[in-house]
A and B are shown apart, each in its own frame.
Chain A
């Protein structure tokens, strides 16, 4: 009989400071753009860093081999991706090479769902590969400062802020990308410019000057024009992208579970690209919204606990200031890109909209935001349709999808396509989406022709006007919103205004 001490939770060996120069940090879970920018922020702080390879369909099968049955699809995909990476590295550099030269860093949140327990599945991977000596570190998403044992990885204010910047910049370029590609005149141009933009911003992050340690560093990030300058460089590239906005396309807002909605690739059937191929304009979900949500949840909790919190007013002021500065920073960066990327939605409004259907303190996954975002899009005429990506086996998502039944009864006009992503039921999922998309297309077209009629314009007239005013065909030309959903409809109305000499 074996001894009781046999089972112990996985604890990584220390990662010493001296090892920093030869050890590569592996990480993943976001889009290639975000990951590349985070790489810049990490390298800036003297780390060697490398994102995991892009998720592939086979990662799901690999993941299933290692983790216990019943894991949600993001857990399985990411566990499989890690396993594939470590196996490849093992082949290339041998077992010792993997153990000594790489560490894997993942984040957890105070997760009542499996998000806070991802690493349990990763541990199964390490065991399965006989790599328990490999070092994997779980960081807390909500802490500005933390370090792993040995000090090899120190999350301090400059690094955290660098990572935040990387996240923001990744979001903004993604917004530019999705609002441009469906209308690009020259096929492939947007993708090329995205790549070039990311490279410029990666360099900017990598060469970021390190000013101050804590407060000084924070102030520098808040007031510097270092990043806005880099974005202005980037904007010049986008200025060169010509678009044809006279195409009525349904706007599809992507919501859903965090990993799945952010992901771009085989983990979610490449649904964003698929939607574009089907003639839609996609509104991608910025990572920044989720972080904003986490900040606001702290504020909401604080407000509820007011009578019991010592120094309430001070704490509330600090928390509100953090939320304000967060948004302000995002907005400053948006502005540098001509305000083409979408602003962050108001978290208070999301909460208020979702309130009758979902309590704001029910956390886990996206909480009340799934409902809030859908109603926000409807109210602000942001999208013709919501495509909600639900991972198979997700705990919180199934609950909000159920609660949507009442929302749909109250707002029958809302086009809503909840898509369950399993990894192996692509045709089924996409055809469900297709059905709702057909209706969304119809609405986009109707709206477009209504605006043409309303303004008395013809396509030919607008084209002529464009010939004389080519700048309005730039991807960076900001078309105001006039209460229509579609880009084309707002554009026609805008051109009409311009023709009349008003904006």
Chain B
């Protein structure tokens, strides 16, 4: 940190909340479930508290699960939940003394205000309590290694309560921590998250501009954020990139007003929706954050001309995805956009079959994309000038 930056930071901190140095605190965070999508928050949050370091476990892999997680899972579940055992187990072998496994109850969704709630899947929020038991039932594996285990309740959707729950959880491990500090750290966490989000959406816009200018198709992925984890989503998106198709993720689509008005303006005018981010026309029980975003992503994908194929990824035994299968497919296909689903993803990467399917999809993309783009363009007002790069 440069001298000037540190001065600015210090200046912004209210008096009495000077950043304490807690070099001795070495935080480990499993890279699991909705930590994907909120990681920048966690890094900035703990940096603000002055901890020595923040370590994330590695990406999910079969090997990680086999080595560190097997035998710790006491029930059957979807793989993204079971994989947490591997992440926690791996972190026990790292140089950390504070293991933080957040119970993410709700998420900071861009759809907030347009949906009923922004909750996580019940398994996402409860997974830590479930997997923790596997590390405690035959003796406290954390204590044996001198590691404090902390599992804060994390309601991102209730930002005023977030510092309280984080403080309650952390004060047992970091004794001199104060509520004021936590509040500030939460603010910094949100700031970092917003900044990351902004950059990611900017990149998506860049891709869309490139597609517009070059009249080229793109592929949209609809999944849960943790399908970005190579061990969970099995890098299916990368296979498309290798074949030259730009890939967009539903959770980082651009949200510029002019773009949304172009795509959804007619629906708003006709009173079908109140706002471009309103999904009540197609989905009425909008409680689950990721589900809501998937639904909105499907609407976006069905409208944006250069998205000619939507790829749905879903884990085996995913109960949250189940009710959405038909609506999502119907939303996408109603505009003639192609829809393909890779369901039942498990720990084993189905490399061979993935490649064959991706190649088949690529064939369809090549065959039909231009027609799809033309047809979708016809239903929209003229392309906004902001999209075209000269």
Is the pairing of A and B real? yes
Q: B76, B327, B334: which contacts A398 (Cβ < 8 A)?
A: B76
User: Please, which residues of chain B bring their CB within 8 A of the CB of A117?
Assistant: 285, 287, 323
Binds B, one of A104-112, A232-240, A287-295, A327-335: A104-112
Q: A111, A308, A357: which contacts B133 (Cβ < 8 A)?
A: A357
Q: B130, B282, B287, B321: which contacts A399 (Cβ < 8 A)?
A: B130
For chain A residues 104-140, which have a beta carbon within 8 Å of chain B? 108, 110-114, 116-117, 119-121, 124, 138
Known: A111-B285, A402-B134. A68 touches B323 (CB 8 A): yes
| Shortest beta-carbon distance from A302 to chain B in Å | 11
Q: Bound complex: CA of A363 vs CA of B117, how far in Å?
A: 13
Q: A108, A361, A362, A395: which contacts B319 (Cβ < 8 A)?
A: A395
Cβ of B193 within 8 Å of any chain A Cβ, yes or no, is: no
Cβ of A143 within 8 Å of any chain B Cβ, yes or no, is: no
Cβ of B260 within 8 Å of any chain A Cβ, yes or no, is: no
Cβ of B221 within 8 Å of any chain A Cβ, yes or no, is: no
Cβ of B370 within 8 Å of any chain A Cβ, yes or no, is: no
Binds A, one of B5-13, B20-28, B121-129: B121-129
Cβ of B176 within 8 Å of any chain A Cβ, yes or no, is: no
Proximity bits, A204-216, B CB within 8 Å = 1, else 0: 0000000000000
Is the pair B287, A110 in contact by a Cβ cutoff of 8 Å?
yes
For chain A residues 7-34, which have a beta carbon within 8 Å of chain B? 7-10
Cβ of A464 within 8 Å of any chain B Cβ, yes or no, is: no
| Shortest beta-carbon distance from B121 to chain A in Å | 7
Is the pair B327, A120 in contact by a Cβ cutoff of 8 Å?
yes
Q: Bound complex: CA of A9 vs CA of B326, how far in Å?
A: 11
Cβ of B110 within 8 Å of any chain A Cβ, yes or no, is: no
Cβ of B269 within 8 Å of any chain A Cβ, yes or no, is: no
| Shortest beta-carbon distance from B321 to chain A in Å | 7
Is the pair A400, B130 in contact by a Cβ cutoff of 8 Å?
yes
Cβ of A358 within 8 Å of any chain B Cβ, yes or no, is: yes
Cβ of A406 within 8 Å of any chain B Cβ, yes or no, is: yes
Is the pair B161, A305 in contact by a Cβ cutoff of 8 Å?
yes
Cβ of B153 within 8 Å of any chain A Cβ, yes or no, is: yes
Q: A6, A10, A112: which contacts B122 (Cβ < 8 A)?
A: A112
| Shortest beta-carbon distance from B74 to chain A in Å | 4
Count of chain B residues with a beta carbon within 8 Å of a chain A beta carbon: 64
Known: A111-B287, A399-B127, A402-B75. A8 touches B375 (CB 8 A): no
| Shortest beta-carbon distance from B314 to chain A in Å | 9
User: Please, which residues of chain B bring their CB within 8 A of the CB of A5?
Assistant: 272, 334
Binds B, one of A69-77, A315-323, A473-481, A488-496: A69-77
User: Please, which residues of chain A bring their CB within 8 A of the CB of B319?
Assistant: 70-72, 113-114, 393-395
| Shortest beta-carbon distance from A255 to chain B in Å | 15
Q: A116, A305, A406: which contacts B285 (Cβ < 8 A)?
A: A116
Cβ of B363 within 8 Å of any chain A Cβ, yes or no, is: no
Q: Across the two chains, which residue of chain A brings its CB closest to B131?
A: A402
Q: Across the two chains, which residue of chain A brings its CB closest to B336?
A: A1
Cβ of B63 within 8 Å of any chain A Cβ, yes or no, is: no
Number of interchain pairs (Cβ within 8 Å): 172
Count of chain A residues with a beta carbon within 8 Å of a chain B beta carbon: 56
Q: Bound complex: CA of A341 vs CA of B302, how far in Å?
A: 56
| Shortest beta-carbon distance from B217 to chain A in Å | 16
Proximity bits, A55-87, B CB within 8 Å = 1, else 0: 000000000000111111000000000000000
Cβ of B320 within 8 Å of any chain A Cβ, yes or no, is: yes
Known: A4-B334, A359-B103, A402-B133. A308 touches B317 (CB 8 A): no
Is the pair B117, A110 in contact by a Cβ cutoff of 8 Å?
yes
Proximity bits, B151-188, A CB within 8 Å = 1, else 0: 10101001011001100000000000000000000000
Q: Across the two chains, which residue of chain B brings its CB closest to A394?
A: B319
Cβ of A364 within 8 Å of any chain B Cβ, yes or no, is: yes
For chain B residues 247-305, which have a beta carbon within 8 Å of chain A? 272, 280-285, 287-288, 302-303
User: Please, which residues of chain B bring their CB within 8 A of the CB of A6?
Assistant: 330, 334
Cβ of B137 within 8 Å of any chain A Cβ, yes or no, is: yes
Is the pair A399, B126 in contact by a Cβ cutoff of 8 Å?
yes
| Shortest beta-carbon distance from B162 to chain A in Å | 11
Is the pair B318, A359 in contact by a Cβ cutoff of 8 Å?
no
Cβ of B116 within 8 Å of any chain A Cβ, yes or no, is: yes
| Shortest beta-carbon distance from B283 to chain A in Å | 6
User: Please, which residues of chain A bring their CB within 8 A of the CB of B283?
Assistant: 9
Q: Bound complex: CA of A410 vs CA of B371, how far in Å?
A: 64
User: Please, which residues of chain B bring their CB within 8 A of the CB of A70?
Assistant: 317-319, 321-322
Is the pair B336, A308 in contact by a Cβ cutoff of 8 Å?
no
User: Please, which residues of chain A bring their CB within 8 A of the CB of B375?
Assistant: 1
Q: A10, A362, A398, A404: which contacts B125 (Cβ < 8 A)?
A: A362
For chain B residues 236-252, which have a beta carbon within 8 Å of chain A? none
Is the pair A402, B130 in contact by a Cβ cutoff of 8 Å?
yes
Is the pair B75, A408 in contact by a Cβ cutoff of 8 Å?
no
Known: A113-B319, A362-B103, A395-B320. A404 touches B280 (CB 8 A): no
Known: A71-B322, A112-B120. A359 touches B129 (CB 8 A): yes
Supply 10 A–B pairs (Cβ within 8 Å), ascending by A: A4-B334, A8-B282, A71-B319, A114-B319, A305-B161, A358-B126, A364-B122, A399-B123, A405-B133, A406-B132
Enumerate the 5 nearest inter-chain pairs by beta-carbon distance, A residue then B residue, closest first. A364-B122, A402-B130, A399-B126, A406-B133, A120-B323
